[in-house]
Structure 1
Amino acid sequence: MERWSDRAWEAALPVYEKILEHPFVRALADGSLPEERFRFYIRQDALYLDGYARRLAHVAARLPHKEQAESFLHFALDGIEVERALHAQFLGGNHPAQEEISPTCLLYTSVLDAQALAPVEVEAAAVLPCFVVYQRVGESILARVNDVRGHAAPLHENPYRAWIETYADPAFAASTQRALEICDQLAAAAGDETRQRMTELFVRCTRMEWLFWDSAWNLETWKI
């Protein structure tokens, strides 16, 4: 039987392919990404993750089974620790102020926050792209770097090696797989309308991931 996550990924695949083609991701892979753009990205990421961890904990509190709730609580705690290490390395512990939030970061966090009153299945689907897209992008970049036919610098020479290794790590893949399993369990017990809303939010938040990198590439600012 086809899983909900397979259908959702198929729906989001055109967006994911655009993500891989984005100049930010391509420059991240070959190590040529200007530091200014990466610092913009990582500062916005720190602001995004302040809310994302709370969203994971909120999903955990709503899940119907103890094992599912425990997994989402672990995601929240593990994510905080992993991201804290990345931000300490790239930001020197200088956490950005909330007033720095970009239009895109505010939009993405608002989309997630808006699902707090939606069915838990929909809220869980909305947070899923941050697992799936990052895992697949990390693994894709690592494969590109390791491909001797490519033009990327060796991984040990890439200034963003720690970021690449974090999201290409088997431990992150295991967390992603567990999040997918839980969403598939939720979808299997839900009605057709709820499953459709889950897919819509999964695709919408995958688009948000594209926008997030595009925002960093363009050093997005508020127009007024």
Structure 2
Amino acid sequence: MSNWYEEISLKTAHILQKIKKHDFIKELMAGTLPKEVFYFYINQDAIYLSEYKKVLAQIGIKCSDENDTQFFLDAATGIINVENALHQNFLNQKSSINEASPTCELYISYLSRMAHTKSLEEGLAAVLPCFTIYQQVGDYILANQTNKHNNPYQNWINTYGGEEFANSVKNAINITNKHTIKASTETINKMNDAFEKASKLEWMFWDSAYNKEPWKL
């Protein structure tokens, strides 16, 4: 398959549109998102990223190409370190939540299972939406906002709409596409399922943050 990512992007475009239209994103772009909602999100994202970087490292270890391995190991350290610094900038002495929300727990557990128990191809497909959707959301906000000089969340927006992150996303896409060239139809179908499910979990993550999702018991 010459461009698997392009095809799966078309199949899952409706999920991305749902994310862009979510109240969390609309209010983030307008700068009106309640601070307590954003702080809840940043806390949960910090918990998520602490596990996501381990997943990326595991994906890298499973790659046979040393350049691919290095990319994912770098992603697990470099990109995450940038995001961690961003978290500290926004949290800044705010009380941290150490417990993952139900949706956060579900998402990190799913990615860990895909990275450790499934094929490399499925693992690649599962971790890719966290790259691509964040870039697309960041680019979408930058292209449509009118308050770049007075949005309290502009540093967050700039991080995901920036060139450095775009280059990392491009590399992740290229590596994943490379592994589809000789993949069987069965493997491609499993990759499609993994990408779609992870994309849905991205929407659920935004939604759970907007609602400050608690454990019901």
TM class by shorter-chain length? over 0.9
3-state DSSP class of the match of 2:165? helix
Instruction: Structure 1: give runs of 5+ residues left out of the alignment.
Output: 146-151
d(CA) in 2 for partners of 1:65 and 1:106?
Answer: 31
Distance 1:9 1:95, change over 3 A: farther
Structure 2 stretches lacking a partner, 5+ long: none
Structure 2 residue aligned with 1:118: 118
Cα offset for 1:180?
0.1
Q: Structure 1's 37 and 5: CA in aligned 2 closer, same or farther, altered over 3 A?
A: same
TM-score by length of 2: 0.96
User: Counterpart in 2 of 1:106?
Assistant: 105
The residue number in structure 2 matching 1:149 is none
Q: Aligned AA for 1:46?
A: A
Alignment of 1:33 with 2:26, yes or no, is no
Equivalent residue letter for 1:73: L
Alignment-mate amino acid for residue 189 of structure 1: K
CA distance in 2, matches of 1:81, 1:171: 13
Match of 1:165 in 2: 158
Q: CA deviation at 1:156?
A: 1.7
CA contact (8 A) 1:46 1:95 kept: no
1:156 to 139, 143, 149: 149
Deviations 1:112-131 (A, max 9, x none): 01111100110111000000
Deviates more, 1:65-74 or 1:159-168: 65-74
> Could you tell me the TM-score, scaled by structure 1's length?
0.93
User: Cα offset for 1:172?
Assistant: 0.5
Q: In the alignment, which residue of structure 2 is the partner of 1:221?
A: 214
- 3-state SS of paired residue (1:67): helix
CA contact (8 A) 2:2 2:177 kept: no
Q: Is the 8 A contact 1:86 1:163 kept in 2?
A: yes
Would you say the 8 A contact 2:60–2:73 is kept in 1?
yes
Say whether the 8 Å CA contact 1:47–1:96 is kept in structure 2.
Answer: no
- The residue identity in structure 1 corresponding to 2:57 is A
Identical amino acids, percent of aligned pairs: 40
